[in-house]
Amino acid sequence: MVARIGQADGLSVLSGSVAGMDVREAALRWVRTWAVAWPAQDIDALVALQTEDGIHWASMFRPYRGRQGLRSYLAESFEEESVPARCWFADPAVSEAGASAEYWAHCVFNGDPVTVSGVTILVFDADGLVSEARDYSDVQKGHHPVPAHIRSDADSRPALVPDSFVPPLALVTEDFRLVPLQPEHNVSDHAAWMGSIEHIRRTPGFVGRDWPPIGGMALGLNLGDLRRHADEFVSRTAFTYTVLDPSTGEVIGCVYLKPPSRAGSDVDVLSWVRADRAHLDAPLHTAVLTWLTSAWPFTAINYAPRGAE
């Protein structure tokens, strides 16, 4: 379907640029959030990407206005899904005007498997929030193979969890909050481990490893690592969670769920906390281990024990 984009309906056109805002970063944030939040049916995460008065066009004649309008549309859509969707997003195409994001999804509507393919055209405000989104999609019966240009490199590796499993988007306790590690955590994540290199290298599971590097790493290189972790989460080949202070939102640690390195294990798990939060290392280990055994499909977990918990 060819997108009709113009001023006849009184809305914005896809022209011009937003000074001081990185359109590519905004588009990548949108893609990565949708790739994780759609299967989880996390309406709050998706609504937070849009401006308060933004407009989401589900089709040329179906505008949903404001965050409440988008919330209503998402609730209606998710109600039709018999099981959580699996979705893939291509690298967004970006210009000064905005961005477009192509996607492919395997859904089950009222018990019938379907493939939804489409593209969403995005306009951002100065803060990187979506002021206008126009979605153009097609629905076909059955689950059709994902085109090669949409699948990421990580998709060629085996998934760490079954297709039917939806990875949790948070673990919250009184002492910390775990959420998927994203590029926007870069500055705080970089500061957290750079200031605790020796401490982390002595942490169970990290002894003898080459990370963190003794000499540290530039902020830009760290951003590349975070982007890789975010892509792995989307492709379900590995899951990395940042550990946040529940009061300040600062990064105080990290948890990694990786493919098993030895026979008989379902998953390898690593975790660290900042040196000034060393007292949380054992409680984090206990909470994560309990979480993995109760909320994840793992039975054999390779996670270095702590001395006293």
Q: Same domain, yes or no, for 243 and 131?
A: no
Q: The CATH number of the domain where 178 resides is what?
A: 3.40.630.30
Q: Same domain, yes or no, for 297 and 223?
A: yes
Listed residue (304, 231, 239, 295) closest to 272, CA to CA: 304
Write down the pLDDT at residue 11.
Answer: 35
pLDDT digits (tens, 9 = 90+) for 77-135: 999 887 778 888 998 999 887 999 999 998 888 878 899 999 999 999 999 999 999 99
pLDDT digits (tens, 9 = 90+) for 268-307: 999 999 999 999 999 999 999 999 999 999 999 999 999 7
Structure tokens at 281: 């290392």
Q: Same domain, yes or no, for 34 and 142?
A: yes
User: Does 165 fall in a domain?
Assistant: no
Q: Looking at residue 237, what DSSP letter applies?
A: S
Supply the pTM of this predicted model: 0.65
Q: Which residue has the tokens 């390195």?
A: 261
Alpha helices in the chain (DSSP H): 23-40, 43-47, 66-80, 186-194, 197-201, 219-235, 281-295
Show Cβ contacts of residue 305 under 8 Å, excluding neighbours closer than 6 positions.
204, 285
Structure tokens at 215: 């000499």
User: Does 254 fall in a domain?
Assistant: yes
Q: Is the pLDDT assigned to residue 5 strictly greater than 70?
A: no
Q: What whole-number distance in Å separates Cα of residue 211 and Cα of residue 209?
A: 6
Q: Same domain, yes or no, for 88 and 199?
A: no
